């Protein structure tokens, strides 16, 4: 007999050699029916895996989040892969992982397929699912596993196995009805009867191992959910997200563009740059009010500084290096922090000078794989609203609480009140001793709890120099965006020789709290464009008002209206073209102009304007004086309204 412990602390006695199926059945028939996998000491395993005396076991059901992930995994590794091989026998399978909300499989096809072929692949998948085939797992030695896949002409699978450092226990899953096999880390569903609802969504190109020197594969994407209701809700969100795509809206609103000669870099147009600068102005006012001093540090610094800081060792693969004719090697900064330490080091600092707040809207460059680039959301060159607080260890809690309040106040100003906080602790690649990390993590946990914030653990995702809090915003259609961060760093000041004179006359290293609120200003612009579906708040809109004249007789008055608005600080443009007013309204609505002032002969005679709001059909008639007063007030930022 063996004894296993359940999540509620109860003990279950089972026969020796029992597995997850036996445990689920011993608990009850309902659980046995819905069980699909298990965790043993918090590690996911297949139900067929044997249990040992003393195991801590939890059954995973198909209705849980973990169960949904396993269902998606089985769907791609067993069903999609099997369907592709049935329809395209000469194809070669590469890898098929799960991703957020779905899955994909990379395949080498003898002849290219298109999105038109997804329907037939989906139909074959549904046929396979109807078999409700059982899925069984076997463990294989390295040579045995390689031979199996080479015999099937699956060279990518054989390559994965050959390059693995392990020599045994390669898991191969087989559908008993068809004999289809695939290499996978698992766990998988015990049978295809547990598959929910799915849909193949699109295809794209992908290089084997992400290396452009390798062959281009076809990546088939899909999504899967527990039931039809969840699938329909997700597909509706996808449609809404497509309507809100900041890249399309960016073109329509003439905000920015991207081009191949500058991968991951943004070409801001006048209107987009106006929006960008309004965000900077807003943040600058917020920071100034909180006591930050703005600095500016070089974009290119000698590599020796990045060696000392640890960036080249731990972050070097994401950095751009350049060598000058005199053989000096420089790095384009991926972060502002080493530069801020240099500013701190100028002159002797006393404990009385702390906390010291240094802020910078610094342009940074980080290499991202080309396949990861996505409009403004994932770029290689971006502006951080970066700041560093130099303080004593005793000041960590108070300063972190201040920053959490500041960041949440800022998000509220933009309409984001649903914010999730994640606590990310030490990563595998890091600098500093475990003792320093223990102190850093403890200090940050005390701070987040002192701020009264609930948080989720995000294990191993801290920065290489310190633990961090991540602030995740939820937008208008329920998508999550990680933006602001707070990081407690006891490593960098010591590595770069930053000290202050303490009250006892001794020199000590300050604590460095890294802080970004928007994060990337470029990315925050993209988030706002999608959150508001292009209908930006009036104060943030690049062009707030267009004055559209009905006839040439009104052009002179239209110019007067524009001049009045501009002189009052309202961003206004004039449209005097000889076009129908309905055409003008429609055209400016596409570019998301918040307000159109329609003026004709009557308005000119009476010094009035007809006000038409974006999305509205009715027009309000206002005197010019009233309109100017109204739009000056609407043009105030949330910060200006508060003051």
The DSSP string of 526-574 is: HHHHHHTTT---TTT-SS-EEEEESSGGGHHHHHHHHHHHHHTT--EEE
The answer on pLDDT for 643 being more than 70 is no
CATH entry 3.30.930.10 includes domain 256-528: yes
| CA distance linking residue 393 with residue 548, whole number of Å | 60
Assign 359 to helix, strand or coil.
strand
Handedness of CA 408, 409, 411, 417 (dihedral sign): positive
Q: State pLDDT tens for residues 254-312.
A: 999 999 999 999 999 999 999 999 999 999 999 999 999 999 999 999 999 999 999 99
> Would you call 514 a catalytic residue per the annotation?
yes
> Would you call 194 a catalytic residue per the annotation?
no
Query: Which of 72, 468, 495, 571 is the catalytic position?
Result: 468
How would you list the strands of the sheet with 608-613, edge to edge? 572-575, 545-549, 595-599, 608-613, 620-623
Q: How confident is the model at residue 387 (pLDDT cuts 50, 70, 90)?
A: very high
Q: What is the pLDDT of residue 596?
A: 97
Burial of residue 101 (CB within 10 Å: 0-12, 13-18, 19+) is middle
Q: What is the pLDDT of residue 69?
A: 95
> Would you call 366 a catalytic residue per the annotation?
yes
Burial of residue 595 (CB within 10 Å: 0-12, 13-18, 19+) is buried
Handedness of CA 163, 169, 175, 180 (dihedral sign): positive
| CA distance linking residue 550 with residue 603, whole number of Å | 10
The answer on pLDDT for 247 being more than 70 is yes
Q: What is the pLDDT of residue 499?
A: 97
What would the CATH number be for the domain defined by 66-243? 3.30.980.10
Query: Which of 175, 287, 384, 487 is the catalytic position?
Result: 384
Counting every residue written for the chain, the total comes to 643
Query: Which of 157, 333, 365, 388 is the catalytic position?
Result: 388
181 is written with which tokens?
């096999």
> Would you call 287 a catalytic residue per the annotation?
no
| CA distance linking residue 246 with residue 530, whole number of Å | 6
Assign 579 to helix, strand or coil.
coil
| CA distance linking residue 369 with residue 118, whole number of Å | 27
| CA distance linking residue 45 with residue 97, whole number of Å | 17
The answer on pLDDT for 641 being more than 80 is no
> Would you call 384 a catalytic residue per the annotation?
yes
Q: State pLDDT tens for residues 176-211.
A: 989 999 999 889 999 999 999 999 999 999 999 888
Q: Between the CA of residue 439 and those of 396, 445, 462, 488, 511, what are the distances in Å?
A: 11, 10, 14, 10, 11
Q: Is the pTM of this model over 0.75?
A: yes
Q: How confident is the model at residue 443 (pLDDT cuts 50, 70, 90)?
A: confident
> Would you call 374 a catalytic residue per the annotation?
no
Query: Which of 366, 426, 495, 588 is the catalytic position?
Result: 366
Q: State pLDDT tens for residues 541-574.
A: 999 999 999 999 999 999 999 999 999 999 999 9
Q: What is the pLDDT of residue 152?
A: 93
Query: Which of 106, 386, 425, 489 is the catalytic position?
Result: 386
What homologous superfamily is domain 2-61 in, according to CATH? Answer: Beta-grasp domain (3.10.20.30)
Q: State pLDDT tens for residues 28-83.
A: 999 999 999 999 999 999 999 999 999 999 999 988 999 999 999 999 989 999 99
Query: Which of 188, 514, 515, 571 is the catalytic position?
Result: 514
* Strand ranges (E), 109-177: 135-140, 170-175
| CA distance linking residue 516 with residue 523, whole number of Å | 13
* Domains of the chain, residue spans: 2-61, 66-243, 256-528, 545-642
User: Cis before residue 616, ω within 30 degrees of 0?
Assistant: no
Domain 545-642 adopts which CATH fold? Rossmann fold (3.40.50)
Query: Which of 337, 391, 400, 525 is the catalytic position?
Result: 337
């Amino acid at each position: 007999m063996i004894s296993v412990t359940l999540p509620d602390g109860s003990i279950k006695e089972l026969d020796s050699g029992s597995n997850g199926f036996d445990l689920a059945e011993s608990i009850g028939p309902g659980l046995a029916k819905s069980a699909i996998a298990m965790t043993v000491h918090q590690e996911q395993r297949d139900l067929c895996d044997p249990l040992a005396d003393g195991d801590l076991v939890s059954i995973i059901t198909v209705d849980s989040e973990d169960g949904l992930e396993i269902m998606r995994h089985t769907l791609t590794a067993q069903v999609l892969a099997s369907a592709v091989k049935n329809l395209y026998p000469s194809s070669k399978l590469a890898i098929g992982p799960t991703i957020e909300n779905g899955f994909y499989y990379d395949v080498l096809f003898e002849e290219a397929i298109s999105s038109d072929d997804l329907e037939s692949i989906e139909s074959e998948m549904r046929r396979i699912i109807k078999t409700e085939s059982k899925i069984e797992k076997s463990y294989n030695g390295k040579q045995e596993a390689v031979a199996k896949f080479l015999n099937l002409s699956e060279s990518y699978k054989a390559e994965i196995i050959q390059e693995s450092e392990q020599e045994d226990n390669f898991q191969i899953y087989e559908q008993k009805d068809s004999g289809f096999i695939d290499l996978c880390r698992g766990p998988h569903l015990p049978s295809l009867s547990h598959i929910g609802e799915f849909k193949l969504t699109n295809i794209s190109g992908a290089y084997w191992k992400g290396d452009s020197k390798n062959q281009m594969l076809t990546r088939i994407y899909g999504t899967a959910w527990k039931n039809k209701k969840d699938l329909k809700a997700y597909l509706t969100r996808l449609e809404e997200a497509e309507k809100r795509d900041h890249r399309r809206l960016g073109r329509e609103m003439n905000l920015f563009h991207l081009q191949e000669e500058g991968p991951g870099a943004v070409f801001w147009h006048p209107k987009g740059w106006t929006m960008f600068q309004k965000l900077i102005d807003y943040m600058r006012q917020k920071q100034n009010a909180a006591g930050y001093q703005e600095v500016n540090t070089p974009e290119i610094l000698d590599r020796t500084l990045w060696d000392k800081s640890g960036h080249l060792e731990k972050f070097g693969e994401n950095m751009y290096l350049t060598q000058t004719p005199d053989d000096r090697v420089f790095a384009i900064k991926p972060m502002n922090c080493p530069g801020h330490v240099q500013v701190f080091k100028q002159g002797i600092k006393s404990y009385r000078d702390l906390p010291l707040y240094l802020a910078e809207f610094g342009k940074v460059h980080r290499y991202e794989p080309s396949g990861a680039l996505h409009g403004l959301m994932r770029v290689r060159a971006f502006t951080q609203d970066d700041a560093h607080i130099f303080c004593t260890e005793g000041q960590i809690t108070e300063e972190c609480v201040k920053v959490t309040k500041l960041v949440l106040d800022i998000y509220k100003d933009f309409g984001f009140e649903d914010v999730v906080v994640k606590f990310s602790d030490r990563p595998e690649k890091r600098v500093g001793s475990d003792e320093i990390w223990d102190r850093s993590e403890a200090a940050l946990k005390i701070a987040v709890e002192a701020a009264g914030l609930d948080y989720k653990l995000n294990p191993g995702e801290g920065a290489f120099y310190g633990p961090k809090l991540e602030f995740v915003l939820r937008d208008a259609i329920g998508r999550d965006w990680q933006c602001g961060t707070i990081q407690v760093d006891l490593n960098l000041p010591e590595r770069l020789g930053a000290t202050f004179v303490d009250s006892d006359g001794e020199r000590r290293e300050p604590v460095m709290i890294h802080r970004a609120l928007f994060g990337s200003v470029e990315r925050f612009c993209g988030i706002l464009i999608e959150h508001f579906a292009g209908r930006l708040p009036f104060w943030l809109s690049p062009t707030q008002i267009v004055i559209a004249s009905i006839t040439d007789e009104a052009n002179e008055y239209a110019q007067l209206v524009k001049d009045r608005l501009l002189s009052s600080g309202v961003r206004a443009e004039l449209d005097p073209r000889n076009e129908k007013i309905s055409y003008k309204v429609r055209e400016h609505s596409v570019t998301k102009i918040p307000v159109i002032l329609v003026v004709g002969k009557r308005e000119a005679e009476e010094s009035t304007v007809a006000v038409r709001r974006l999305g509205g059909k009715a027009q309000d008639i206002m005197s010019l004086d009233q309109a100017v007063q109204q739009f000056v007030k609407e043009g105030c930022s949330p910060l200006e309204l508060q003051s």
